[in-house]
Structure 1
């Protein structure tokens, strides 16, 4: 029979049957694009093309004004420089991009040595922007960082002023902090420097790694008059350096 000659039909197993994926729709019932064409933001949060353009036109002047007002014109700050660099080295490096107005090296307060940070001021803001090409430039084994110098706010100026304020004299204090000393300054040099005061002892800060001076010391005086005369010599020059003299924070007693 014809019916017997026909092969029996079998139903596909429901687990093996290929399921048709329903197209994804957004919350308005509109089909979404395929995965390859999916937008990078959630549908419904995008502005229309004319809205994006209008927003950009409105935000551009504000952003430009904010950026222009947040940086000091013509000034950049560079960090990560080798401590052996001199002002002449830095002027030669940045002077390639245009005339310089000033170069200010940041130094360690105790030793007065260059700390690898410098503020460079160009005569034009355009040259300052060009010098940003030095960001990541390798000097020796170090990669320097160069960026625009931000404007100093009133709060930052206040904190800086508070940090730079000399400590007040504590009761019974007979010691002074003496900083920004040359590496080769000796006790004999300091006694000659404070010759108008009676010195009890001098305690140099020693670098444990090198065994050399760290560029500052504490001087104990025999009486209060000697201490006052010494503090009055703050910023006096010793071996070509302005010496920092202030009341010691912790009195040895």
Structure 2
């Protein structure tokens, strides 16, 4: 008998394990694996009870889970009003769409949370969920996880742009999960060559404005942004379709990474074909006071984010009514421990000292701390100066790619002497930064 082959006794045990009703020599029957299994009668009875319990779970709890998953897929297959998802509108299988919209994210810094990953990857499209592999003993993630988008275009764009980028001091590894099959994509409706996908669109940009911005590349036949029925604003992504394919190709190559309203556009060719839907026009058929099911974030923000939001709400409630909602308020630093923006003050005396090299000089200094995304030289308006008399009318914002870089820049700049002046540096809230500098023209992007 050759090595590795089962012995006759082992073969008998294997045969009877495959068929628990195998007749014995005495003409009776034996329990599963009892012959030559090495188990006592009590142990075998325990195994039989476990198997019976597993079968019971399969018919109860597991069945409920499978039924819930089936209902979720059916709900997904029914497109909501205003849906801008060609695959869903074309009637593609929800499971295949989910596979096409999911990516693997590895080499994640252990200090980063689901919320951080959600915020970073939402730049490429609507994130449905973030799931991190957790260590049950410590409760911390294992350094990898999965991001599922609502549309395949966002997933493809994230894989292309984010693989190999630095986040939290580590180089991300982005790819497709093991269950991804290229053949699935080949079975989808082919997208028209005249169509491109656009993400990370500032909420102040309307469909008409976006159409005008892309019109120089060629005649635009459709410009659709995905609406949010709860907020009645667009969700920051959509599709643009030209009359000619060459115009779409040139627009995708030129406008990707273009800064528009202090957000960097993400533009690419499409992955899946199908109808585009109504876009923002769907809001016309729904009254403003209609009750629409609000989108509930899948990922719960960290406690420190919730605490900060509560603090901001308390501050707003305490303000006089005429001060609430002013978008031109003077810059004020906030407790934003994960912000990527550093506010620099007292770099120059006034606006007369601002030259064309100021922003690039600050970017060069900032690069010592990490990758700089943008530098904005903000000259305060008359209204801002009235609200903060005696304050310098020039503030400089340095936006980094990573929060860790902003923290290093804070230490580098704060208290440092520059041109005979002592700089004051503080972290600044990213959302307030976008609002305050939305119309600034002195913007430098390395």
Q: TM-score range by the shorter chain?
A: 0.3 to 0.5
The structure with more helix, counted as a fraction of residues? 2
The normalised TM-score by structure 2 is 0.20
Higher RCO (CA 8 Å, separation ≥ 6 residues):
1
Q: TM-score, normalised by structure 1?
A: 0.34
Pick the structure with greater CA Rg: 1
